[in-house]
């Protein structure tokens, strides 16, 4: 048990470093950690307390596949991002054909398809909305996030909460307005949890289901490039086995169906890690984006956060 707890602490630290902001932790795992806290040994108690404190603030009590398997078999510490619901009950990804017509007509048709998608509707909580992409359908830059959060499912628009406000500031720092770019998510509904509090990252199956909708948006908009915001968005676009840690691909051009993709930090990560070092690291990616999109860069912009 002691090694299991230490493995959990290590894994949580690793995940936090890669920008993961929420994890599934089952009731069973939490109970196991709590019972460890109640154990008679002081050292063991301290370790378990550290483990519980290490769980990122938005703790979930859902399907704790990964952490349960850690407790059951300490040798199988597979990366959490590979954990996925085996019984999601999702049908195979949707297939559809967009009508002929202007860009606007094709985009409107796609929006109708997504808003009418029976699977998306089944997973949206009553009174909340499916979230489809917004912005300029002639944009050169398409920002791609992972999934809607509470604010987004209320308003039916991507990136309208705190992370969205930071994204808007970053777009403005590039000399652009939100309305000049296109903003979408890999997923169109807010990943479900037992209550409305907190968020969880989408599973690979959920992302695979929604991906054709994002791909179709990319096909209609035809941006010069995509910015993948965070590890989950990057995995959604590049494949769940494309990398283990965001560090491996951050700031390096990748490809999604023929469109260049630059993975960078998610704005939520920057809200949590509000240092000039992290902001500069993200800003350097934005400078690469500006160069590729042929947006003029001033000396002042080059030196932000230095
Ligand atoms: N985070 C995302 O990845 N997408 C949103 O729309 C909002 C927050």
Cα 239 to ligand 1 centre (Å):
19
The residues with which 135 forms a beta bridge, in sequence order, are 182
**Can you tell me the distance from the alpha carbon of 1 to that of 30, in angstroms, rounded to the nearest whole number?**
13
Nearest atom, ligand 1, residue 151 CA: 7
Q: What radius of gyration do the chain's Cα atoms show?
A: 20
Residue 181 CA from chain centroid, whole number: 19
What is the best residue among 128, 148, 153, 166 to mutate for testing ligand 1's pocket, by most ligand atoms within 8 Å of CB? Answer: 148
CB 135 within 8 A of CB 152: no
Q: Is the pTM of this model over 0.75?
A: no
Res 79: pLDDT: 24
As a whole number of angstroms, the longest Cα–Cα distance in the chain is: 71
Which structural domains are found in the chain, ordered by start? 2-62 (no CATH), 82-302 (3.40.470.10)
Number of residues in the chain = 306
Q: 133-155: buried (b, 16+ CB within 10 Å) or exposed (e) per residue? A: bbbbbebbbbbbbbbbbebbbbe
In tens digits, the chain (306 residues) has pLDDT values of 555 555 566 555 655 554 444 444 444 455 555 565 555 566 656 655 655 555 443 333 333 333 334 333 333 322 222 233 445 789 999 999 999 999 999 999 999 999 999 999 999 999 999 999 999 999 999 999 999 999 999 999 999 999 999 999 999 999 999 999 999 999 999 999 988 788 999 999 999 999 999 999 999 999 999 999 999 999 999 999 999 999 999 999 999 999 999 999 999 999 999 999 999 999 999 999 999 999 999 999 999 999
Q: How many CB atoms lie within 10 A of CB 112?
A: 11
What is the best residue among 185, 186, 236, 269 to mutate for testing ligand 1's pocket, by most ligand atoms within 8 Å of CB? Answer: 185
Cα 228 to ligand 1 centre (Å):
11
* Nearest CA, atom 7, ligand 1: 159
Cα 74 to ligand 1 centre (Å):
33
**Can you tell me the distance from the alpha carbon of 65 to that of 63, in angstroms, rounded to the nearest whole number?**
6
Cα 153 to ligand 1 centre (Å):
10
The beta-carbon contacts of 122-125 under 8 Å, at least 24 apart in sequence, are: 123/189, 123/192, 124/153, 124/189, 124/190, 125/153, 125/190, 125/192, 125/196
Res 198: pLDDT: 87
Res 220: pLDDT: 98
Res 1: pLDDT: 56
Res 128: pLDDT: 97
Q: Pick from 52, 226, 43, 196: which is nearest to 126 by CA?
A: 196
C-alpha distance from residue 181 to each of 53, 141, 153, 175 (Å): 39, 6, 21, 11
CB 228 within 8 A of CB 234: yes
Cα 145 to ligand 1 centre (Å):
5
Nearest atom, ligand 1, residue 146 CA: 3
**Can you tell me the distance from the alpha carbon of 200 to that of 66, in angstroms, rounded to the nearest whole number?**
14
Res 45: pLDDT: 62
Q: Please identify which residue in the block is written with the tokens 């970053």.
A: 170
What is the best residue among 186, 199, 268 to mutate for testing ligand 1's pocket, by most ligand atoms within 8 Å of CB? Answer: 268
**Can you tell me the distance from the alpha carbon of 184 to that of 145, in angstroms, rounded to the nearest whole number?**
6
Cα 163 to ligand 1 centre (Å):
7
The three-class DSSP label of residue 47 is helix
Cα 229 to ligand 1 centre (Å):
9
Residues lining ligand 1, Cβ inside 6 A: 145-149, 152, 158-159, 161, 163-164, 185
**Can you tell me the distance from the alpha carbon of 68 to that of 198, in angstroms, rounded to the nearest whole number?**
21
What is the best residue among 58, 143, 147, 191 to mutate for testing ligand 1's pocket, by most ligand atoms within 8 Å of CB? Answer: 147
The three-class DSSP label of residue 24 is strand
Cα 265 to ligand 1 centre (Å):
12
- Token readout for 219 is 């096909």
Nearest atom, ligand 1, residue 163 CA: 8
Res 61: pLDDT: 32
């Amino acid at each position: 048990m002691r090694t299991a707890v230490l493995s959990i602490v290590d894994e949580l630290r690793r995940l936090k470093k890669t920008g993961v902001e929420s994890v599934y932790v089952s009731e069973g795992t939490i109970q196991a950690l709590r019972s460890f806290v109640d154990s008679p040994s002081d050292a063991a108690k301290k370790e378990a307390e550290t483990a519980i404190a290490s769980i990122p603030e938005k703790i979930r009590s859902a399907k704790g596949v990964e952490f349960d398997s850690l407790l059951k078999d300490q040798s199988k510490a597979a990366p959490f991002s590979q954990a996925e619901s085996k019984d999601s009950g999702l049908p195979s990804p949707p297939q559809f054909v967009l009508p002929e017509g202007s860009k606007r007509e094709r985009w409107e048709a796609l929006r109708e398809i997504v808003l009418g998608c029976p699977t998306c509707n089944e997973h949206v909580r009553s009174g909340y909305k499916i979230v489809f992409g917004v912005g300029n359908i002639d944009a050169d830059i398409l920002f791609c996030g992972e999934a809607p959060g509470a604010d987004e499912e209320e308003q039916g628009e991507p990136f309208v909460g705190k992370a969205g406000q930071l994204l808007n500031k970053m777009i403005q720092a590039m000399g652009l307005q939100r309305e000049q770019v296109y903003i979408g998510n890999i997923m169109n509904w807010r990943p479900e949890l037992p209550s409305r509090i907190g968020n969880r990252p989408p599973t690979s199956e959920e992302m695979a289901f929604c991906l054709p909708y994002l791909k179709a948006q990319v096909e209609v908009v035809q941006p010069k490039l995509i910015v993948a915001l965070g590890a989950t968005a990057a995995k959604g676009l590049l494949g769940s086995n494309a990398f283990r840690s965001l560090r491996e691909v951050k700031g390096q051009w990748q490809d999604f169906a023929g469109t260049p993709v630059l993975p960078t930090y998610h704005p939520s990560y920057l809200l949590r890690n509000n240092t000039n070092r992290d902001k500069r690291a993200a800003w350097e990616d934005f400078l690469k984006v500006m160069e590729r999109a042929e947006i003029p860069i001033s000396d002042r912009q080059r030196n932000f956060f230095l």
